[in-house]
Chain A
Amino acid sequence: MRESAVKIAGYFGYDECVELLLAACADPHLNVRRAALEHIPFLEDDRVADILRNALRDPQAQVRAAAARALAYTESAFALQPLLEALEDRDPWVRYFAARSLGRHASPEALPALARAAQSDEAHHVRASAIEALGRIGGPRAVAVLAPLAADEDRDIARAALAGLGMVSHPDALPPLLAALRSPQPERQLDAVRALAERGGSGAAGALQWVATADANEEVARAAIEALARLATPEAIAALVSLTANEARREACIAALAQVGEEHAEQVAHGLSHPQPAVRRAVVEALARMKRPYASELLATALDDPEGSVRLAAVQALDRLGSRRAERQLATLAHSDPDLAVRRAAQLALQRKT
C-alpha cells in the first residue's frame, strides 16, 4: 500500500507530498524506499542529493541500485562522484545502473572508470552497460576502448560496443563499424547495421547500400534496407531508389521508401527521372503507398513518362488511390496515349470516378 502511494505521489509530484516522499526514502520496507528513491530526483528540493548519496550505502542492494539509477536525473556536478563510487559496489546491479547513469551524464571525467568496467568487470551486463555509457560520452578516447571490444567473442559485449560506436560521431568510430559489416557472422553484421542506422553520417548510407546489394544473407540485406529508410538522408533515399533496380531487393526497398514519410517524398520522387523504367515504376509504387496528397501529386508527374509501362503504373496507382488530382491528364491519356494498355487503364480509371 505504501509503495503504491509513494509511486502515485511521486508521479504527480504534489508539493504536499514532498515531505512524505523524502521520509519514505527511510521507510523500513525496501520496496517503499526503492520507489521513493526513484521519484525524488524530480523534486526541487536541496535534500535530494544527500538522500540519494546516503541511499548508496543502504544495506539492501536493490535500494542502492535504485539510488544509482535515480542519480541519472540529478545534476552532473553532484552525481559524478557518488556514481563513480557506486561503480565499485559489490553488487553487479548497482554497478550496472551506476554505469548507465554515468552514461546519461556523459561526463568525460568518468571515462577511465567506465573503460575499466567495460574491459574487466566480472559481470557481463555491467561491462555492457559501461560500454554503452562510453558510447554516450563519445570522442576518440571512448572509440579507442570500444573498437577492440566490437570484435569481442562475447556477443553481448560486441553488440554493446557496436551500439556504442553507433552513438559516436567522431570519424574514428566508422572503421570498426565497417569492419563489423564485413564480418562472416550475420548477427555481428546485423549489430553493425543497426549501429550505422543510429549513427548516420558520412559513409553510412554507402556502406549500407553495399550490404543491401551484395550480402547473401537475406536478413542482413533486409536490415540494411530498413536502416537506410531510418536514416532517410538524401544519400540514403537515393541508395534505396537505386536498389529497386535489383529485382530481389525491389519489394523491400519499395516498402522502405513508402515509410520514409511525406516530408521526404520529393527526394523519393527524384527517382522518377532514373534511367531505368523498372526503377521509375518502383518509385511510382512507393509514392502511391505513402497515401499522402503531396506524394500522389508527385507520382502524377509519371503520367508524362516516356515509357508506357511507367505511365501505366502511374495510372493504376492513381486509380487505386481514388485521386481526382490528375483527371485532365487521365482524360488525355485515355484518348491519345500511344500505348493501348495505358489508354485502357486510363479509361477504366475515369469510368470508376464517374
Chain B
Amino acid sequence: MRFYAETLGLSPNAFALLRDLIHERLGLFYDDGKQDLLADKLSPLVIERGFDSFLDYYYLLKYDENAADEWRRVIDALSVQETYFWREMDQVHALVEEITPAYFARRPAMPLRIWSAACATGEEPLTIAMALNEAGWLGRAPIEIYATDISPAAIAKAQAGIYRERSFRALPEHLRKRYFVPWRPLERSEFEPAQWQVAPWLRALIRWDVVNLVSDKDVQRMPTMHVIFCRNVFIYFSESSIRRTVRLFSQILVAPGYLFVGASESLLRLTADFELQEVGGAFVYVKR
C-alpha cells in the first residue's frame, strides 16, 4: 500500500501514453477531461498487477509477452455495457417492416445477415431476434444474426442469457413472458435481485463472438453482411477510429447495405461510402 500511495497517479505523460495506446488498439478515446475516468477504471488493474505507476502498466500492455491476457482485462474494465431490451426501436422496426420484406422479395432463398456489432451483454441482438420472430420472419426466411462485442466478459454474459430488471425497462410485459423465464442461482440469498433467463432457442439463434471493431483482422473474418447495428459506440471513439471502423464496415457490407448508428451519432462528415436515408421513419446509413 505504501508503494501505491507514494506514486500511483496518472501523470499527464503517462496519461498521454496510455490514452494513445488504448486509442490505437481499441479505438476508445479519452480526452484530457476524461483523465480521471480512465484512471478510475484502470487503477484496480494496475494495483492488482502489483505495479506502482501507470507507466509500468503501459509497458506491460505494450511489451509483455502475456499482454493479450491483460488487454482482455482492460477491455472489460473500459467497455460500456449499459443497454436494455427494446431500445431505440424505430430502427429495429425499420429492419423488420421495411428492409427485411424488401430483401426477401428480391432474394427469397438467400440468407439475410444481420450483425449487432457492439452488442454488450446481448440485449440488442435478442431484441432484433424477438422483433423478427414477432413479425413471423424467423420461421419462414433464412436469417442469420451475428452478435459481437470487444469484451469477452460481456459476450460470456450474453451467452449465459441471464438478465436483471434494468434490462427490461422498455420491453413490453407480454414479450418478457413469451421469451424469458424466472431464473434463480443455486444458492440465492433473500437479497438477490430477481433475474430472468432468455429462452435457449432464441439465444441459440445468435452467433456470438468477440470482435474488436478497429481490428482489420477481427472485422474481416466476419461474413458479408446486409445490415449492421453499431449503436452508441462511436460516441466513445475518436474521429480517426470511427473512420477506420466505418471503412471496415463498408468492406463487408453488400450494396445496398444498411448501417444503423445511435441517435446522437453522425457519420456525415466522416465517410463518403454511405448515404443517410430515412427508411420506415428511422434514419439509416445506406452503402452506395
Contacts and interface: CB of A to CB of B under 8 A. Distances in A.
Interface of A: 7-8, 10-11, 34, 38-39, 42, 62, 65-66, 69, 92-93, 96, 123-125, 128, 156, 159, 163, 190, 194
B204 interface: no
Given A7-B1, A10-B2, A194 B12 contact: yes
Contacts of B56: 96
B1 A11 contact: yes
Contacts of B52: 69
B62 interface: yes
A126 to B, nearest CB: 9
Given A163-B13, A194-B12, A194-B13, A125 B3 contact: no
Contacts of B62: 124-125, 156
Interface in B93-120: none
Interface of B: 1-3, 12-13, 16-17, 50, 52, 56, 59-60, 62-64
A128 B3 contact: no
Contact of A69 (B3, B12, B63): B3
Nearest to A39: B2
Contact of A42 (B2, B16, B59, B63): B2
A124 B13 CA distance: 18
The interface residues of chain A, by DSSP majority, are classed as: helix
Nearest to A97: B56
Contacts of B16: 190
A105 to B, nearest CB: 16
Contacts of A159: 17
A128 B50 contact: no
Contacts of B64: 93
Contacts of A62: 50
B50 A123 contact: no
Residue from the set A11, A125, A163 with the largest chain B CB neighbour count within 10 Å: A125
Nearest to B49: A62
B3 A38 contact: yes
A9 B64 CA distance: 31
A128 B1 contact: no
Nearest to A11: B1
Given A39-B2, A159-B17, A163-B13, 6 more contacts: A11-B2, A62-B50, A66-B50, A92-B63, A96-B56, A190-B16
Nearest to A31: B50
A309 B50 CA distance: 58
Contacts of A69: 3, 52
Given A62-B50, A163-B13, A194-B12, A123 B63 contact: yes
A269 to B, nearest CB: 28
Contacts of A125: 59-60, 62-63
Residue from the set B16, B59, B60 with the largest chain A CB neighbour count within 10 Å: B59
A34 B3 CA distance: 12
Contacts of A128: 59
Contacts of B1: 7-8, 10-11, 39
Nearest to A195: B13
Nearest to A7: B1
A66 B3 CA distance: 11
A339 B239 CA distance: 49
A31 to B, nearest CB: 8
A98 B128 CA distance: 55
A69 B3 CA distance: 9
B264 to A, nearest CB: 27
A66 to B, nearest CB: 7
A66 B52 CA distance: 11
Contacts of B12: 194
A177 to B, nearest CB: 15
Contacts of B60: 125
Contacts of A7: 1
Nearest to B16: A190
A7 B64 CA distance: 26
A128 B55 CA distance: 10
Nearest to A73: B2
A96 B57 CA distance: 12
A7 B1 CA distance: 6
5 contacts: A39-B2, A66-B50, A96-B59, A128-B59, A194-B13
5 nearest interchain CB pairs?
Answer: A125-B59, A11-B1, A125-B63, A124-B63, A7-B1
Contacts of A156: 59, 62
Contacts of B59: 96, 124-125, 128, 156
A190 B20 CA distance: 14
A32 to B, nearest CB: 12
Contacts of A66: 50
A38 B50 CA distance: 9
A48 B283 CA distance: 68
Contacts of A39: 1-2
Contact of A34 (B2, B50, B63): B50
Contacts of A194: 12-13
Contacts of B17: 159
A213 B12 CA distance: 23
Contacts of A163: 13
Nearest to B65: A92
Nearest to A34: B50
Contacts of A190: 16
Contacts of A38: 2-3, 50
A65 B49 CA distance: 12
Nearest to A38: B3
